[in-house]
């Protein structure tokens, strides 16, 4: 029914980080390597493979350096990692990843719970990380992801002005990319459109990603609102796994396979082969052995009329 405009869109698979960190089980490294390879084979070209956090805090992600090393061997794969602080950034710089994502909670309460720093202390850390990156003559990009940007389970309201103030401060401190995350699933399409439009005015092309959770079923509706504000890069996790350990009630990132379906149906070319992605999803569900998963496309299947924007580009 759609007349595709065939713009490109980029999906960053974050299940290996945001998904696995919220599970009690640890997925074996060999499974993660298979996940990265199969996601790549399905056409994904950006993967957040892990997080450089102390292994004692998050043993599920202790193999991040090994995953980066493997992911770097895949041609044209953009490899990202999360880093909570300077120490993590040094490991990320050494790893050879393409981008490091620094989470910065606009909620004071969530920031303290998540990284034991105030938002402004995190801004100072951004400046130190930028300095270390430049001193190392590394070309790893620095992105600051503003989390709890639409409200917080701990603090409640997060003023929009505070979100924008922190975004501006992050850019001033040396971040080259900024993004907005609905960490706890509080966002609605109206608020998403308004905040992304305002952030675009502030950050220009440095604003390049949206990160939604499907806690209250609005991840895809919020995605269309961000699209309206010009965003075409989205985080998502296969089978919708994920959440935030310090945000009670948060559950489920945007589901990768459902997001690919929606974007492709709308005429946005993600480059992803949905059938291969659904095969990988089935494997992953098996590997996760009873952990909660999400998503609808796997059950219903593609519409008979489905025509992917990516295939019509090819």
**Residue 150 is a binding residue for a second copy (CB under 8 A):** yes
Q: Which of residues 58-97 bind a second copy (CB under 8 A)?
A: none
> Smallest distance from the beta carbon of 85 to a second copy, in angstroms?
28
Separation of alpha carbons 77 and 99, rounded Å: 11
Nearest-angstrom CA–CA distance, 13 and 46: 6
244 is catalytic: yes
3-state DSSP call for residue 254? coil
Helix (H, G, I), strand (E, B) or coil at 151: strand
List the Cα angle 167/260/7 in 5-degree steps.
70
According to the binding rule CB under 8 A, does residue 43 interact with a second copy?
no
Output 96 or 189, the one with its CB closest to a second copy: 189
Strands (E), 9-118: 10-13, 46-51, 78-82, 99-105
Judged by CB under 8 A, which of 194, 201, 230, 313 binds a second copy? 194
Conformation bin of residue 295: beta by default, left when phi > 0, alpha when psi is -120 to 50: left
**CA–CA distance, 166 with 145 (Å, rounded to integer):** 10
x/- string (CB under 8 A) for a second copy, residues 3-42? xxx-------------------------------------
- Window 203-242: contact mask with a second copy (x via CB under 8 A): -----------xxxxx-xx-xxx-----------------
Residue 91 is classified by DSSP as H
Member of 111, 138, 255, 256 binding a second copy (CB under 8 A): 255
At 12, which helix (H) or strand (E)?
Answer: strand 10-13
User: In this chain, which of 164, 195, 269, 280 binds a second copy, going by CB under 8 A?
Assistant: 195
Cβ at position 251, least distance to a second copy in Å: 7
Compute the radius of gyration of the chain from its Cα atoms: 18
Q: Does 270 bind a second copy (CB under 8 A)?
A: no
Closest residue by Cα to residue 191 from 217, 158, 232: 158
- Backbone torsions φ then ψ of 107, nearest 5 degrees: -80, 120
Select which of 239, 244, 247, 262 is catalytic: 244
- Residues in the interface with a second copy (CB under 8 A) total 50
Which residues are marked as active site?
A: 244
Contact residues for a second copy (CB under 8 A)? 1-5, 150-153, 156-158, 160, 184-191, 194-195, 214-218, 220-221, 223-225, 249, 251, 255, 258, 261-262, 265-267, 295-297, 300-301, 303-305
């Amino acid at each position: 029914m759609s007349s595709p405009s065939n713009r490109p869109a980029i999906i960053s698979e974050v299940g290996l980080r945001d998904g696995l960190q919220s599970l009690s089980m640890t997925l074996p490294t060999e499974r993660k390597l298979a996940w990265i390879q199969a996601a790549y084979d399905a056409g994904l070209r950006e993967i957040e493979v892990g997080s450089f956090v102390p292994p004692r805090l998050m043993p599920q992600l202790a193999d991040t350096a090994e995953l980066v090393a493997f992911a770097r061997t895949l041609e044209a794969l953009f490899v990202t990692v999360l880093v909570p602080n300077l120490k993590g950034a040094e490991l990320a710089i050494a790893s050879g990843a393409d981008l490091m994502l620094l989470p910065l909670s606009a909620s004071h309460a969530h920031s303290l719970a998540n990284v034991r720093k105030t938002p402004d202390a995190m801004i100072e850390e951004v400046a130190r990380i930028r300095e270390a990156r430049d001193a190392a003559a590394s070309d790893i990009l620095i992105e600051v992801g503003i989390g709890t940007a639409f409200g917080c389970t701990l603090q409640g309201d997060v003023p929009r002005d505070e979100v924008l103030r922190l975004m501006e401060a992050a850019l001033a401190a040396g971040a080259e990319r900024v993004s907005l995350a609905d960490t706890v699933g509080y966002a609605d399409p109206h608020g998403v459109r308004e905040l992304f439009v305002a952030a675009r005015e502030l950050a220009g092309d440095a604003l390049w990603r949206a990160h939604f959770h499907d806690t209250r079923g609005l991840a895809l509706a919020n995605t269309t609102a961000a699209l309206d504000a010009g965003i075409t890069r989205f985080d998502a996790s296969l089978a919708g796994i994920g959440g935030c350990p310090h945000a009670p009630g948060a559950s489920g990132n945007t589901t990768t396979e459902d997001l690919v379906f929606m974007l492709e149906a709308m005429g946005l070319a993600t480059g992803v082969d949905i059938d291969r992605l659904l095969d990988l999803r089935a494997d992953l569900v098996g590997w996760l052995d009873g952990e909660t998963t999400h998503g609808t496309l796997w059950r219903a299947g593609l519409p008979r009329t489905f025509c992917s924007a990516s295939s019509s580009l090819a």
